[in-house]
Homo-oligomer: A and B are copies of this chain.
Amino acid sequence: MIIEESIAGRSLLARLDHGAEMIGQITDLARERKIKAAVISAIGALSRADLGFYDQAGREYMVRAVEEPVEIASCTGNISLLEGEPFVHAHAVLADSSGTVLAGHLVRGTIFAAELFVQELAEADLHRAWDKKTGLKLWSDVQPQGVGR
Within residues 92 to 144 of chain A, which ones have a CB less than 8 A from any CB in chain B? 92-97, 99, 101-105, 112-113, 115, 117, 119, 121, 124, 126, 131, 133-134, 136, 138-139
User: A102 contacts which chain B residues (CB < 8 A)?
Assistant: 95, 99, 101
B117 pairs with A43, CB closer than 8 A: no
A90 interface residue (CB < 8 Å to B): yes
Chain B residues positioned under 8 Å from A67 (CB to CB): none
Q: Which residue of B lies closest to A7 (CB)?
A: B11
Contacts A5-B11, A5-B33, A93-B101 aside, 8 further interface pairs with beta carbons under 8 A come to: A3-B33, A4-B12, A13-B126, A43-B78, A43-B90, A73-B91, A95-B103, A115-B139
